[in-house]
Amino acid sequence: MNSFYSEEELGGLGLKSFGHDVKISRKASIYNPERIEIGSHVRIDDFCVISACRDGWVRIGSHCYIGAMGFVEATSGFEMEDFTTLAARVTVYGGSDDYSGDYLTNPCVPERFRNVVSGRVTLGAHSIVGTCSVVLPGVTIGKGSAVGAFSLVTASLPPGGIYIGSPARFLKKRTDGLFTLGEAARLEMD
């Protein structure tokens, strides 16, 4: 048996839409698939959790990759534009409890006692988030930007940079060569 769902099995998951050459591990967990759209040439590895949440949605472009043990909680929407990568163990939060002590925390508590801050998360085309990094609600990672391993992204990042640390801060400019390579790859694969 193949470790990825067949195209027929993908159709049975109830996804809103999906393209061709989509590989989703049988060990991945997909929640609210009717609000999840996936482009072509996409791979989602073992033990990933992709959740459109109760009112959220997920849009994964083409030529995208989510590494093993990735976690995406799309409370207010999540978008990966074309040629984006979430390396292994990356966590993306679309919502977060208020830790001030003025409210209770966790989804097992009635909503009237909680204050959840949520926001759409967008990964611009050709961006990459390195292993074990965390992206918080409302963040946009700009086109062509890279986030180094073990970074904490608390605010939106401009296009074309390399960012590292906790919180993530600018390290240096990323070259534009990836855009030319991406177009060449698209022509070869599509």
Per-residue pLDDT tens digits for 36-63: 999 999 999 999 999 998 889 999 999 9
Q: Say how many domains are in the chain.
A: 1
Domain-located, residue 17: yes
Per-residue pLDDT tens digits for 159-186: 999 999 999 999 999 999 999 999 999 8
Domain-located, residue 59: yes
- Looking up residue 91, the CATH number of its domain turns out to be 2.160.10.10
Contacts of 74 (CB under 8 A, 6+ apart): 50, 51, 52, 53, 56, 57, 58, 92, 94, 121
Domain-located, residue 2: no
**How far apart, in Å, are the Cα atoms of 69 and each of 83, 165, 170, 179?**
19, 21, 26, 28
Examine the pLDDT at 6 and tell me if it is beyond 80. Answer: yes
Domain-located, residue 123: yes
**How far apart, in Å, are the Cα atoms of 152 and each of 122, 129, 169, 185?**
15, 10, 9, 30
Examine the pLDDT at 90 and tell me if it is beyond 80. Answer: yes
Torsion of CA 83, 132, 5, 21, to 10 degrees: 10
Instruction: Give the domain range for residue 126.
Output: 7-189
Domain-located, residue 46: yes
Domain-located, residue 65: yes
* Residue percentage of the chain with pLDDT more than 70: 99
Please indicate whether residue 122 or residue 55 has the higher confidence score (pLDDT).
Answer: 122
Domain-located, residue 74: yes
Domain-located, residue 25: yes
Question: How many helices and strands (H and E) does the chain possess?
Answer: 2, 22
Q: What is the mean pLDDT of residues 148-162?
A: 98
